[in-house]
Amino acid sequence: MNLIRRTLSSLAVAALVVGTAVAQQTPPKPVPVPRPVMPEAPVPPPPDVDGKSWVLMDYATGQVLASKEPDLRVEPASITKIMTDYVVSAEVANGKVHMNDPVTISENAWRGGGAGTDGSTSFLKLNSQVPLKDLLYGLIIQSGNDAAIALAEHTAGSEQAFSGLMNGYAKQLGMTNTNFQNASGYPIANHYSTARDIAILSRALIHDFPEDYAISAIKDFEWNGIKQHNRNLLLWRDPTVDGIKTGHTAAAGFCLAASAKQGDSRMIAIVMGSTNEKTRADAAMALLSYGFRFYETHKLYDSGKPLATPRLWKGQSNQLPLGVSDNVLVTVKRGDYDKLQATLDVPATLVAPFTKGQQVGTLRVTLDGQPVQNVPLIALADAPQAGFFGRLWDSIMLWFHSDKKPDEKK
């Protein structure tokens, strides 16, 4: 299919019209905050933090801003429980289980998953019944293995079946280097993930289930007369940190998935295989601080607003408004905003009908020639066919139009 491609600045977008290129303004860039007349300092490389692998991700866009061995398969330990939380929250949202369900604590759950665990428990009593919501608190705050297994058995009938749900959701989320074998994260063969996949999962949990995610900011929880503290040290160190989960086994080392929000920006830091509890917290904090200090998020285009109105043939209207379904956000190094370029790829000839929401082309955003965002360009309105005579007339006009030489289409 022939495409019309036009390179645009992020300040203005051209309407792509067969035979004519008509300049069309989009909402202007935000007015920059006045700064001292000083050259922008170059952004330094990310900190060299302690960990086998790590990822710094921007929440708004999902862009990985910095990383070390992001796709290295590692044992996730209790970081696994982020997925346990996600699956239970999804099943609650789907009406399969409910927050007030009484969950019976089986012997398997009571024993906490068997030998080799990191020993974390919510001190659940054998054969007792505990509300599902309280088990979620025990899972997220206390990192209880018993809570994880009890939730898995209640949600799917068995921990093995629940693992199948975990892997199904992982596939849907795009976690391509992950395989779960249990709900708690105790060491077992073929149970692995990566820093990148955990970042993808963390972003999905924050976005899809914000109320359940908020539990990870709670500093302590008491059950069965025993009060336990959240193991995420950053909750006490920085008030902008509100999650997510710690993990540790001898094989996995010390792991931490952390997130913080400053103003309209949120960052996610995943550290896998650090040497101790303090260094994993230091590493995550250093990555979060680096992200907030040296990167900024901008909204380039608004959802539902026309970015182009190309010529439409054989339609009741002779133009087709094109735009994006969601706001287009990008996160770039400070000082790089003016370097962004946008390109609209649209078929050279558009023939009705089109339906609202149908993809027609692609909006591509680049920085120094490297892709930043590829976003579907959709029809913003239905575009039904014209009547018989309207289609006939456009067929004749198209014959003359297609007979033009390429350099005549200006």
Here the CATH number for the domain that contains residue 370 is 2.60.410.10
Sequential DSSP letters for 82-106: HHHHHHHHHHHHTTSS-TT-EEE--
Rg of the chain over all Cα atoms, to the nearest angstrom: 26
In the predicted model, is pLDDT for residue 164 greater than 60?
yes
* Domain end among 234, 269, 295: 295
Do 211 and 327 fall into the same domain? no
Q: Is the pLDDT of residue 329 over 50?
A: yes
Q: Establish if 41 belongs to a structural domain.
A: no
Cβ–Cβ < 8 Å for 310, 346: yes
Task: Output the domain CATH number for residue 209.
Answer: 3.40.710.10
Residues 250 and 131 in one domain: yes
Domain count, the chain: 2
Give me the domain span that covers residue 82.
Answer: 53-295
Share of the chain above pLDDT 90, in %: 73
**Angle at CA of residue 75, ends 72 and 80, nearest 5°:** 115
Degrees, nearest 5: CA angle 174-179-185:
120
Separation between Cα atoms, residue 271 and residue 284, nearest integer Å: 6
Q: What is the pLDDT of residue 113?
A: 52
> Domain check: are 190 and 222 in the same one?
yes
Of the candidates 219, 238, 216, 215, which has an alpha carbon nearest to the alpha carbon of residue 228? Answer: 219
Q: Any catalytic annotation for residue 78?
A: yes
pLDDT digits (tens, 9 = 90+) for 393-403: 778 787 876 65
Q: Does the active-site annotation cover 53? A: no
Gap between the Cα atoms of 66 and 269, Å rounded: 10
Which tokens go with 130? 């505990």
* pLDDT single digits (tens) 56-78: 999 999 999 999 999 999 999 99
> Cα separation of 283 and 56, whole Å?
11
Task: With beta carbons less than 8 A apart as the criterion, state whether 253 and 272 touch.
Answer: yes
Residue 367, in any domain of the structure = yes
In a domain, 326, yes or no: yes
**Considering 81, 106, 122, 274, which one is annotated as catalytic?**
81
Q: Is residue 34 part of a domain?
A: no
Question: Among 10, 78, 193, 259, which one carries the catalytic annotation?
Answer: 78
The model carries a pTM of 0.81
Is 10 an annotated catalytic residue?
A: no
Tell me which of 117 and 250 has the higher pLDDT.
Answer: 250
What is the Cα–Cα distance from 182 to 146, expressed in whole angstroms?
12
Looking at the structure, tell me whether residues 338 and 218 fall in a common domain.
Answer: no
Report residue 258 as tokens: 């952390």
**Are 73 and 118 members of one domain?**
yes
| Catalytic member of 67, 106, 143, 202 | 143
* pLDDT greater than 60 at residue 334: yes
In a domain, 47, yes or no: no
Asked if the bond preceding 244 is cis, omega within 30° of 0, the reply is yes
